[in-house]
Amino acid sequence: MLSGNILNSRLFQTIRNGGAMLRKLLMVLPISIVVTLLCWIIMKLIEKKCSADNKLKQVIIQRKRWILGFIFYISVLVQVGVLSRMLGSIRTIVWVPFRTPGGDNLVVLYALANLVIFIPFGILAPKVFYGINTLWKIILVTLVTSVCIETIQYILACGYSQVEDVIMNVAGGLIGYLIIKLIEKRKNKQNAV
């Protein structure tokens, strides 16, 4: 059993690390907003320049909000997962899941962060790419995306490349996908009544 001082120390460290994660997230928001606004301008130009029967124009009109949400999300994800880290600092693969470098008290915090950060992926990807319309496809696309991020982190030596991250990212994408499907199912039931 943990003594009170050890428990307080671990709790304080977890809160401090959680605060650092939140600060990092808030710091990347301005760039993500600018990137999204630039994409919105490009989409507006495409809408103006293309004829009414142009497929790209129709896709933009139908899915504009989802596309812009996805662009904002991917911008945040790339900045938090790769660009906000010191390049050349860490090049390590952690093959054993839930063995976070830095101590056991960080396992839950980092696992939850990796889960939560991919929930929007599971919500947005099927709305932007209509081909991602089954459970297995979202699992596969989330898996590939997560492995790509971990591979980039390894190549750029900007973080621990962890199997745990991939597991939790896929779980987050799956949760997001189930959330959007549940919302759509309820909406369809309401429209049928």
How far apart are alpha carbons 123 and 134 in whole angstroms? 12
pLDDT per residue of the chain (193 residues) written in tens, 0 to 9? 456 665 566 666 667 767 777 787 788 889 999 999 999 999 999 889 888 888 888 888 899 999 999 999 999 999 988 887 888 788 888 878 777 666 666 777 788 989 999 999 999 999 999 999 999 999 999 999 999 999 999 999 988 889 999 999 999 999 999 999 999 999 988 887 7
Task: Count Cβ atoms below 10 Å from residue 36 Cβ, excluding itself.
Answer: 20
Q: Specify the number of domains making up the chain.
A: 1
- Full residue range of the structural domain in which residue 181 is found: 4-192
How far apart are alpha carbons 164 and 61 in whole angstroms? 38
Which is nearest to 39 in space by CA: 71, 65, 63?
71
Under 8 Å CB-to-CB from 72, ≥6 apart: which residues?
32, 33, 35, 36
Range list of β-strands (E), 72-116: 90-94
Amino acid at site 91: R
This prediction's pTM:
0.83
Q: Which two tokens stand for residue 79?
A: 């900045």
